[in-house]
Amino acid sequence: MATPVRLLVSSGEPAGIGPELTIRLAQQRQPFSFAVIADPVLLQQRAAMLNLPLQMHLVAVDEPWPTSSPGQLNVIAVPLAKTSAAGMLENANADYVLRMLTIAGHAALNHNVDAIVTAPVHKGVINEAGVAFQGHTEFFAELAGNVPVLMLLACEGLRVALLTTHMPLRAVADAVTPEKLEHTLRLLHRELQQKFAISSPRIAVLGLNPHAGEGGHMGREEIDVIQPVVARLQAEGMTLLGPLSADTAFTDDHRRRYDAVLAMYHDQGLPVLKTLGFHRSVNITLGLPFIRTSVDHGTALDIAARGIADTGSLQYACEQAVLLANASR
């Protein structure tokens, strides 16, 4: 019998819904072994607020974890700097969040776990604490030695990768360069082959401008940057479609024609994916030397500890991590 996949779950921003999502994850028997990185006192407090049973086993990253029954949770203990109240951000706990991510990243790099899954963090509170932080994707890329990475979000029937991620919209056009586009398409093509076992990936490349530039009347990025790169890689044998107009690329008929979409910027592709699969979609970081998946939502401070947070995305992120881990064994 195969050894169950070991997942390490970071509980995210302590004032948000991350801690309670991990508690809810432990309320059902899971087909994988997992441990949560968190402050045990915080978890006990949230469990009491939610009126959920919680028996914790304090464990270490590099040791075997006991098999958990519903209501039991393996915990890698990290103490908060300051007591956290649900919905109330506290800059003093920024280092707590970063310590959790560091532990998770090193555990994956050292092969102590098969994959890591991350609950949402609050970028603003980390930056206000004096730490330059763009997001999980960039953090783990740096931790792994500044490896090139790519953000991919996926739900049933759709995968969307992002050429640019967390930057102001006015900076996007300058960031769409031939070098960046070619590198990103090569990385996406390789990872679809290696991680998703798609031998000949079909990738849709969106245009930057409305109607993909309308022949240059609404912008020339498609003509000057995107088309030449697409043509060059097509000549090498890649199956690329585009540049496509983003307003029609996501229709049912079009989505059946490709395995992934490369969007030029964050809000070009993700609103569609989240509309189609919110609570059942996952964020996957491609290019890392380990598997990392995440939820598709934020910290939801306004509903923290109210008992109404949906666990669907965390559950799906764990399931997808297991699939990727099994495929790499």
Contact 175, 164 (CB under 8 A): yes
Q: How many domains does the chain have?
A: 2
In our burial notation (b when 16+ CB lie closer than 10 A, e otherwise), range 278-312 reads ebbbbbbbbbbebbbbbbbbebbeebbbeeebbbb
* Beta carbons of 325 and 5 less than 8 angstroms apart: yes
Dist. CA 164–CA 148, nearest whole Å: 13
> CB–CB of 77/58 below 8 Å?
yes
Query: 303 with 309: CB under 8 angstroms?
Result: yes
Assigned domain for 283 exists: no
Angle subtended at Cα 288 by Cα 286 and Cα 289, rounded to the nearest 5 degrees: 135
Instruction: Tell me: do 3 and 126 sit in the same domain.
Output: yes
Of 185, 266, 259, residue with least CA distance to 225: 185
CA distance 146 to 142: 4
- Which residues on adjacent β-strands are paired with residue 9? 36, 117
- Do 215 and 308 lie in a common domain? no
Its sign, for the CA torsion 291, 292, 294, 296, is negative
- Residue numbering of the annotated binding site: 136-137, 166, 211, 266, 274, 283, 292
CATH number at residue 6: 3.40.718.10
1 and 132 share one domain: yes
Domain that holds residue 226: 150-278
> Is residue 119 in a domain?
yes
Same structural domain, 121 and 234: no
Same domain, 245 and 308: no
Residues 29, 4 share a domain? yes
CA angle 274, 21, 297 (to 5 degrees): 20
Evaluate whether residue 7 is within a structural domain. Answer: yes
The tens-digit pLDDT sequence of the chain (329 residues) is 578 899 999 999 999 999 999 999 999 999 999 999 999 999 999 999 999 999 999 999 999 999 989 999 999 999 999 999 999 999 999 999 999 999 999 999 999 999 999 999 999 999 999 999 989 999 999 999 999 999 999 999 999 999 998 899 999 999 999 999 999 999 999 999 999 989 999 999 999 999 999 999 999 999 999 999 999 999 999 999 999 999 999 999 999 999 999 999 999 999 999 999 887 899 999 999 999 999 989 999 999 999 999 999 999 999 999 999 998 87
Q: Which residues are annotated as a binding site for a divalent metal cation?
A: 166, 211, 266
> What is the pTM assigned to this prediction?
0.91
Going by the annotation, the residues of the binding site for substrate are 136-137, 274, 283, 292
